[in-house]
Every structure is written in structure tokens, then in C-alpha cells.
Chains A and B, each alone.
Chain A
Amino acid sequence: MTKPLKIVVLAKQVPDTRNVGKNAMKEDGTVNRAALPAIFNPEDLNALEQALRLKDRIPGTTVQLLTMGPGRAAGIIREGLFRGADGGVLLTDRKFAGADTLATSYALMQAIGKLNPDLIIAGRQAIDGDTAQVGPQVAEKLHWPQVTYAEDILSCNGERIAVKRRLERGVETVSAPLPALITVHGSAAACRSRHAKHLLKYKHAKTLSELQDAGNNAYDTNQPEYLRITEWGVADVGGDEQQFGLAGSPTKVKKIENIVFQAKESKRLTASDTDVNGLIKELMANHTIG
């Protein structure tokens, strides 16, 4: 029998930047975050599914979600619990704020040290930054091998893991020893839906901060432990304070600009035969086409 795995899934709550409507930009041209719903980063859901499949396959395997963000990011841990994860940790602290990918990976690495997994699975990249850096950076900090762009975890015998990777122009199957970190591509299987059983069980799972916001100072000792979502700050994960958050971020944002289109003198045309025909004739006359 295969040895059970301790899996950590790295997940991020992100603003849904994919279909940004007109109201997503404020009058002054800055991004109106409030107009964008906060969602479970899509490829992190693909990562969660790969973890849950291993849990299905290898009895005794556990799946923990690890996320970093503000208090409301506890929402994606609950979402993970509803879909079959066993627990989760929210890294939240003002000192984590302003982190670039390097400082983010440092904080995650410190937390992973406490969780002690055999395998880390993360989405390839988050849709708010599209950098695809945090996975490989966490792997490097742990001195673990990384397998990026996984489309499917083919097998795992507790010692090694075989992974099919989706590359730009092809596929590759690799075998890596555990512990390892895998990032999952969006072409991997979609995540299973919430399960009614889990939804019922974890509906009231909360972080201590969420309880406090609701006016309760402590967990009800009569309630089961699984309703407690762990929250860790810098003091809990330890490490060098200079490497967290803004202080630990080598990259700085010098400038943010709105998109200023160099508006051209565009000719407005209608769908009429005359307009379309006129355009085609013009394009042919100036040798753009034909």
C-alpha cells in the first residue's frame, strides 16, 4: 500500500480580472477593486482537483490549503473545504502586505516549514499578476525539485511522482522524487463542485478574526475543532522580518498608468453594403490587401 501523503495546496483569492466591465475603472482611471468579485484563482482550483484525486487514490492522504491575504481570503479556504479539502491555513498580517512574488514565496515557505508536507501543488499563475513565479520560488526556497505546467498527475508511489506537463508546443512526462512542488496548468481537469456533505459540515468554519468581527471573542468550546480555520501571522511562522511584505520585496512599483490609447482619427463605418464595399476597395487600392 502506498504511504499516505500530506499535501499542501497553495491558493490565492484574486479579483476577477478576466471580464472587466466598464464600471471596473473609476472616473479617475484607477481600478475599482470593489466592482470586481473576489474569486478562487482559477488554476489553483485545477491544483486542488489534482490534490483531491491523490486523496481519492491513496487512503489516509490529507489536503491542506495554504493562502495568504486579508481576512476575507478565509473564504477560499471554506470553498476548498466544501470541495473536499481537510483543512487550511490563512496567512494574514499587516507585515505580509505589499509583498512581491519573492516576499510572498518567503512567507509561504516559512508556513510550509510548519505544515511539513510531502507534496505541494499550486496553480501555475494567478490571474491578477500572471507572473507564474511563486511556485518555482517556493520550491527553490525549500530546495525541492519543481514540476511546472502539470496537466495530470499520472502516478505517485509515495517515493516518486509522475507528471504530464503541458508545454507551449507539446507535452512532456517527468518523474520527480518527493518532496516536490508541482504547478498545475489550466488545461488540467476542472475542479469538482462543492459537495453537499462538506457544505453542511464546514458551513460555519471560521477564522478567529471572523468570529471576533461577528462579536464573539473566542471559539465555542462545544463546537468541533474542524470549524476552526487556522490564522497565522509573522509571529506564528517565524523567520526574518526583513524578508516579509514590502520590506522583503526587491521589486518596487515606480509608476502605474492608465491605458492611454493613442487615439487615432478613426473612420466610423456602418454595416451597409456601401460602407463595406468602399472599405474593401480602398484597402485594395492602397495594396493593404490583394
Chain B
Amino acid sequence: MNNILVYCEMEGGKIADVSLELLTKGRGLAEQLGCRLEALAIGYRLAGVEKELANYGADVVHVADDARLDPFRTLPHAAITIGVIREEQPQIVLFGATSIGRDLAPRVSSALKSGLTADCTSLEIGDHADTKGNVYKNLLYQIRPAFGGNIIATIINPEHRPQMATVREGVMKKEPAGAPKAAEVKKTDIGKYLSDTDFVVDIIERHIEERKIDIKGAGIIVSGGYGVGSRENFKLLFELATVLGGEVGASRAAVDAGFADHARQVGQTGVTVRPKLYIACGISGQIQHTAGMDQSAMVISINTDADAPINQIADYAIVGDLNEIIPKMIKSYRENSK
């Protein structure tokens, strides 16, 4: 049986959250398909990594451990990933849609002449019948917003294997397996796949910041869109977020306009969040954005446009000017919490 393989990203000696999220999702898909879940860890000093990967459901862990493999460089990681895929013949390969995954996965897909779908928001198993009468069983439905997030497309690869997809951090839930078993560890013979030409790119300098902004874990998010109008006006959102004990998010339009930092971006090309309260201020509600927040327990929208699409998924739609409403909310909260 052809298995599911997850490329596991290492981040400061730890397995990246996105990889554990993909293992969680991969576990469910593997169960549905009746196949095994394999993890591929490439880096340096990876001893013990199989334990955590097994906790998230990996049945097999491929480990490529070498000083030259950390930090990530495209060519050696691609050569090993391509080599392992050719050897193991997985039917599905998943990557995080991170700086690393979005650099690596297309290179791998090109070498394997196999299709790749970027930034999937949902992965499902399903069948397909084409117009010529061919029927394909158990394909991976790779579902993603397209066309700037105005439509949702289901992409399939009927003929080519592996079926490859990238998924943004936070889109899938991270859950340890109920009854994890020890994984079978396979040490990758990297000598078989690597050559000197894989090391022609030198890293001269590297500054990776600790995660400072983490809106993914926030219980309350006050999010602003293009309608907020300016970086200056965003201060009002920060004020409300501080008062309520939440974080500030932003739509892509607000980030593109320079009103907020990219780390705060919620949506298809940002972070997916599931807070208990999401307050959307001046956000029209394009699918690009709503794809990243529609699982919030409660949504309040504040918009001058009574017909803004966001109002359709809002529990409370306040029609009016956020510059007037937010100060009222802050005042009311302070008065009532005394």
C-alpha cells in the first residue's frame, strides 16, 4: 500500500507546529485510506525526534541526520526528499506552507513531474469520474480558495503520484494520537542522494526571531481590515484588544496597505484562527479572509456597509463607524467590569 508522507520541518531543534498539524490530519487520512503514515525529518542532531512524531501518529519515521542539513537549504533537502519519495512511493505528500515548505515543495514536484496544490484549507478523500468515463477511487481532494480568494477550488491529480499539497500553519488542528505506538525508525542513507553540487549555496548570515506575535493561540481577536483606514487608526483596535485581553489581527488588504504587520494576517495567506470571539472591524469579508476565521465561536462585525459579506457569518453585525463604536465598547466594558 502506498502511504502518506509528511515532510517535518525543524524549527530551533523542535518539530514545527505545522508539521504536527499535518501529521494529525495525515493520521485521519491514512485511517480512511487504510495506509500508514510516514514522517520525514531532515536536519541535525535529531536523536529522539521519532518519539514526538510517533505521538502524533507517525508509523514510520525517516531520519536524515547530518551537520550539513541544518539550517535548511533547498538543494540538499530537495535531493533527500525526492530520493525518499522515489524509494517509498507514497500516494500523498504533505508540506507546511511555510518559508521552507513553499520553497522546497515546488522543487520536489517539478523533479517528480507531479502536481502540487498550494495553501490548501481542507483535504478530503473522494472519488472522481472524468468525462471519458474513467473512474478514480480515493483521490486527495485539495481544496483551496483561488482567484484572490473569491472562489473555492477543489483540485485533484487523477494520474500522477504522489499527490502533493501544502497547508498553512494553523489550518489543521494539532492533536496527539489517542493511543500512540512506537514508530519504526528508518535512517536515511543520505550518501545515496546527495552530491557536492547540492551544497553550492552558502548561508552567510541568519537572524531568526522568536515568535513575538502569536495570534493563533489568542482567545479573543480584534481584527482590522482596509476599512480601518490607517496604521494610526489600528491603535484603537490595539486598545480594545488590550482591554479585553486579546490580540490584534488583520486582513490581507490591511497588511498590504501597511496598516499592520504580516504576522497578524488572518486568512488563506496568513494564519487560521479559532478564537472564542472574533471582532472584525472594517473587514468586508472576502473568502481569502473568512477562510481563516470562520471557525471562530463568535463573530462580531463592525462595518459601515450593512451589506458587507462579513455580516453573513457574523453573530452580531454592528452597522456604523468603528471609530465611534470601539471607544463605546471600551467604555462600556470598563464600566460594567467594575
Q: Which residues of A contact B205 (CB under 8 A)?
A: 171-173
Chain B interface residue count, CB cutoff 8 Å, equals: 93
Q: Which residues of A contact B135 (CB under 8 A)?
A: none
Partner of B200, one of A170, A177, A266: A177
Query: CA of A76 to CA of B84 in the docked complex: distance in angstroms?
Result: 41
Q: Which residues of A contact B153 (CB under 8 A)?
A: 253, 255-257
Query: CA of A258 to CA of B294 in the docked complex: distance in angstroms?
Result: 16
CB pair B150–A20 under 8 Å, yes or no, is: yes
Query: Nearest chain A CB to B254's CB is how many angstroms away?
Result: 12
Q: Which residues of B contact A289 (CB under 8 A)?
A: 220, 244-245, 277, 333
Query: Nearest chain B CB to A19's CB is how many angstroms away?
Result: 7
Query: CA of A175 to CA of B205 in the docked complex: distance in angstroms?
Result: 10
Partner of B201, one of A102, A145, A258, A277: A145
Q: Which residues of B contact A34 (CB under 8 A)?
A: none
Partner of B106, one of A137, A168, A170: A137
CB pair A172–B201 under 8 Å, yes or no, is: no
CB pair A271–B328 under 8 Å, yes or no, is: yes
CB pair B317–A140 under 8 Å, yes or no, is: no
Partner of B154, one of A31, A101, A177, A253: A253
Q: Which residues of B contact A177 (CB under 8 A)?
A: 200-201
> Looking across the interface, which residue of chain A has its beta carbon closest to that of B302?
A271
Query: CA of A277 to CA of B150 in the docked complex: distance in angstroms?
Result: 35
B155 an interface residue at 8 Å Cβ cutoff? yes
Query: Nearest chain A CB to B79's CB is how many angstroms away?
Result: 11
CB pair A271–B116 under 8 Å, yes or no, is: no
Query: CA of A18 to CA of B149 in the docked complex: distance in angstroms?
Result: 9
Give the contact-size bracket for chain A: 35 or more
Q: Which residues of A contact B220 (CB under 8 A)?
A: 289
Partner of A251, one of B117, B287, B321: B117
CB pair B160–A250 under 8 Å, yes or no, is: yes
Do A276 and B332 contact each other (CB < 8 Å), given the known contacts A267-B316, A269-B316, A269-B318?
yes
B204 an interface residue at 8 Å Cβ cutoff? yes
CB pair B152–A259 under 8 Å, yes or no, is: yes
> Looking across the interface, which residue of chain B has its beta carbon closest to that of A243?
B113
Q: Which residues of B contact A173 (CB under 8 A)?
A: 203-206
Query: Nearest chain A CB to B34's CB is how many angstroms away?
Result: 23
Q: Which residues of B contact A261 (CB under 8 A)?
A: 290, 309, 312-313
Q: Which residues of B contact A131 (CB under 8 A)?
A: 106, 116, 118-119
Do A169 and B209 contact each other (CB < 8 Å), given the known contacts A276-B318, A280-B333?
yes
> Looking across the interface, which residue of chain B has its beta carbon closest to that of A252?
B156
A263 an interface residue at 8 Å Cβ cutoff? yes
Partner of A133, one of B116, B152, B226, B336: B116
Q: Mostly helix, strand, loop or mixed at chain B's interface?
A: mixed
CB pair B318–A279 under 8 Å, yes or no, is: yes
CB pair A276–B325 under 8 Å, yes or no, is: yes
Query: Nearest chain B CB to A99's CB is how many angstroms away?
Result: 12
CB pair A17–B150 under 8 Å, yes or no, is: yes
CB pair A169–B332 under 8 Å, yes or no, is: no
Q: Which residues of B contact A141 (CB under 8 A)?
A: 110
Q: Which residues of A contact B300 (CB under 8 A)?
A: 279
CB pair B315–A133 under 8 Å, yes or no, is: no
Query: CA of A146 to CA of B99 in the docked complex: distance in angstroms?
Result: 13
A284 an interface residue at 8 Å Cβ cutoff? yes
CB pair A149–B99 under 8 Å, yes or no, is: yes
Chain B, residues 48-85, CB within 8 Å of chain A (1/0): the string is 00000000000000000000000100110010000000
Query: Nearest chain B CB to A113's CB is how many angstroms away?
Result: 15
- Max chain B C-beta neighbours (<10 A), residue from A134, A251, A252, A283: A251
Do A172 and B328 contact each other (CB < 8 Å), given the known contacts A132-B102, A251-B117, A255-B154?
no
> Looking across the interface, which residue of chain B has its beta carbon closest to that of A140?
B110
A114 an interface residue at 8 Å Cβ cutoff? no
Query: CA of A135 to CA of B106 in the docked complex: distance in angstroms?
Result: 8
> Looking across the interface, which residue of chain B has its beta carbon closest to that of A30?
B151
CB pair A175–B157 under 8 Å, yes or no, is: no
Query: Nearest chain B CB to A10's CB is how many angstroms away?
Result: 14
Q: Which residues of B contact A31 (CB under 8 A)?
A: 147, 150-151
A127 an interface residue at 8 Å Cβ cutoff? yes
* 15 chain-A/chain-B pairs, Cβ below 8 angstroms: A127-B148, A130-B268, A133-B109, A136-B110, A139-B107, A149-B103, A175-B204, A250-B114, A251-B117, A251-B142, A252-B156, A264-B313, A267-B317, A268-B317, A288-B298
